Chain A
Amino acid sequence: MEEKLIYELDRLDTHQTDSLLNEKLAFELDRKALKRIKSSVYKKAGLSRARSLLKKAAAVVAAAIVLLAVSTALVGVENVAEAFSRLFGFIPGYGIVENNQDIKFIARESKLRAENNQAIMTVRTVLAGKNSLSISFEVEKKAFDESKALEEKKELEELLKRDALKKPDIRLFIKGKEYRSSSSSTGGGGKLENTHIYFEIPEELINDKISYTLVNNQFGLSLDFTLQPCASYGSLQEIGPTDVKNNISITAVPKKDGNRLEVELYTVNKSKFNIYSYAKEDDKGYKGMDISLMTSSGRHGYKTPEGYMGANNRFYFDVNPEEAKLVLNIPYLIVEGAESSVVSLTVPEEGKILKLNKEVAFEDSTMIITQVEKVARPENEYGALRISLACKNSNPGMVLKNTAFNRVDTFGITKGGGYLSVPDENGIIKAIEYELEQGENDKLRLNISRPQYYLLGEYNLEIDGI
């Protein structure tokens, strides 16, 4: 009976596993083993550990980015057109959600801000579940010395490496009783510091009749807030100007502060792709195009929030009061697919070029490995393989931009591996130089995956009445 039981439980699918596993079950792993495992995973994924830790901090900073993608995962309808007929919840700074029973309340106040001579604390989101409160806030340090930014960044990196970063001293007071966070994460290393913090609260203390006080002891700041049920909308247009292309809707939520216009973008994504970016990446856009704001006075470029790295969903524009007919133009999206294909490449003798024209077919495009050349590397005795690439697109609305390249070992296991990418003026990959390892003197097997595309079809969002 026992063997049969184990046999059946070993073969549960994801849904069945969900039914079985208890949320409360916790499993420990010693820190050293965890570090070794992490190191191995980062290597396989072609990520460096130090970079990852820095990016972790940055990712916390980019709370809005994190939350933006949530909306794409939450709306479970077959297509965007159908989605329009449904009832949506919109949580500013968080995303568009549908029938989300996990989020009971959000903050009632639209501006939650506290300031003293040290810093300004601004709450971005408050999400209340059945018995928890999750709060994201930003602290701007007034006395921050920019010349010390690099030094502070290094200190942060060092603390992260040693897992010695102290938890922020944040408390929540409800009816005079103090609650400490059960988990938190902070990113910073500059003038801005972003924190995401989670409190476990008795269910009876989560409602729209109680006042909550958030206290940040590190900066001597506190603010009060109350809760309200998440607002519901009958259509995306009720939330903000919306345009739909390629089964992806984008809804703009604009805010004006003096001459500065801030536009936040929220999506309902029913395409087969994940949205990677709304704007150009690495300063290279398709045919030089990028997000812009068109007005009666012409076209405006944008700024991104401080603290963000790369893609984000918040864009700032300088607009004079007399300017009218504001239209946000998004010429394309950068999206990522989930396909992959393994190729085996012959490594020629050093200095020799081998013409290949090997095709790697994806559903909407083909990547052609035109030739390979082994090149010497002063820092790597095994050298590198320079792989020249060309992209062929089978869908006129999509332009293959890039893919991921991962080494596959003799056992068929995908590993990591460092490589340099060489893009053209449109940001489309035209070559990579893949660092070779011992034993790769005649063959290199690569898993070519996650094709990234420029998804054409411009969005024009009319921004009126701000």
Chain B
Amino acid sequence: MVFLLEEKILALLMKKPEAGLEKLMNTYAGLIYTIVCNKLSAICPKEDIEECVSSVFFEAFEKRAGIDLSKGTIKSFLATIAKRRAIDMFRKSMKEHTTVLPLHILGEITPEGAEGGTQPQGQCDRLDTRNLLISSIKALGEPDTEIFIRKYYFGQSTKVIAGLMNFKENTIDKRVSRGLRKLRTIVGADIDFQERMDS
């Protein structure tokens, strides 16, 4: 019934934008905040994080006429905007600050246009790699799939995931470690190849 809920939100956004926006935020604010916060919390104050979240909702609101539920859900539309805006803000903040950042954070962000410069064949390969990656994460099976999505898509810490999923922290770490080995076997070569193409 998620589709029905999204239909209602979209219909509201079109016909009663204020009510639609309210419903949209009530439904997805937690999700979007999680995405943005985990990307920016190391370098941005709470106010900037909230500003970025509000920009995501405003952008979706402005683009509401172009939302086509047959092509994807509002949830994924918002999540995609959130990822991009958070990365944009991360880059801006990086330019403004000289803070020394942990290497793993720097590693997440690549220069703008890295993908745009890839040739069509490269884009195709990248698409295949990502689809393979998604299916591989799904193939890990529960609860590992959820752990991986929380950790690597939403950027939640082991401690937070352990609390949310009622596991011990070391159980999460073990499952992550085991899952990474499986993923490396399945998609590692693809990702390594893509990295060489991009560099």
Contacts and interface: CB of A to CB of B under 8 A. Distances in A.
Interface of A: 1-23, 25-29, 33-34, 36-38, 40-42, 44-45, 47, 51-53, 55-56, 58-60, 62, 65-70, 72-74, 76, 102-103, 127, 129-132, 134, 198, 273-276, 311, 336-338, 340, 413-414, 449-450
B29 to A, nearest CB: 5
Nearest to A42: B21
Interface of B: 1-4, 7-8, 10-12, 14-23, 25-26, 29-31, 33-34, 46, 50-51, 53-55, 57-58, 61-63, 65-66, 68-73, 75-77, 79-80, 83, 87, 104, 107-108, 110, 115, 129-131, 133-135, 137-138, 145-146, 149-150, 152-155, 180, 183-184, 188, 191-192, 195
Nearest to B106: A3
Given A18-B75, A52-B19, A73-B69, 20 more contacts: A1-B180, A1-B188, A6-B107, A11-B83, A12-B130, A12-B134, A19-B135, A20-B153, A22-B149, A29-B29, A37-B33, A41-B57, A59-B18, A66-B16, A69-B15, A73-B68, A103-B4, A275-B14, A337-B65, A414-B58
Contact of A102 (B4, B129, B137): B4
A330 to B, nearest CB: 17
A65 B15 contact: yes
Q: Which of A14, A18, A28 has the most CB of B within 10 A?
A: A14
13 contacts: A5-B180, A7-B107, A10-B83, A14-B71, A16-B134, A17-B76, A52-B18, A65-B15, A69-B14, A70-B11, A276-B15, A337-B65, A338-B66
A93 B180 CA distance: 51
Contacts of B104: 2-3
A421 to B, nearest CB: 16
A156 to B, nearest CB: 14
Contacts of A14: 71-73, 76-77, 80
A181 to B, nearest CB: 13
A462 B104 CA distance: 68
A45 B58 contact: yes
Q: Which of A8, A22, A103, A413 has the most CB of B within 10 A?
A: A8
Contact of A27 (B12, B33, B66, B130): B33
Contact of A45 (B2, B33, B61, B63): B61
Q: Which of B1, B21, B69, B150 has the most CB of A within 10 A?
A: B1
Contacts of B70: 76
A275 B14 CA distance: 8
Nearest to B192: A4
A414 B31 CA distance: 22
Contacts of A52: 18-19, 21-22
Contacts of B62: 340, 414, 449-450
Nearest to B7: A70
B4 A8 contact: no
Contacts of A5: 133, 152, 180, 183, 191
A168 B85 CA distance: 39
Contacts of B183: 1, 5
B31 A27 contact: yes
A415 to B, nearest CB: 8
Contacts of B2: 23
A217 to B, nearest CB: 25
Given A3-B108, A18-B72, A59-B19, A10 B87 contact: yes
Nearest to A28: B30
A338 B12 CA distance: 16
B33 A33 contact: yes
A102 B65 contact: no
A22 B33 contact: no
A69 B1 contact: no
B9 to A, nearest CB: 10
Give the 7 A-B residue pairs with the shortest CB-CB distance, closest first: A59-B19, A27-B30, A17-B76, A40-B54, A338-B65, A14-B72, A3-B107
A21 B130 contact: no
A32 B83 CA distance: 23
A274 B64 CA distance: 10
Contacts of B138: 19-20
B65 to A, nearest CB: 4
B80 to A, nearest CB: 5
A60 B30 CA distance: 23
A25 B149 contact: yes
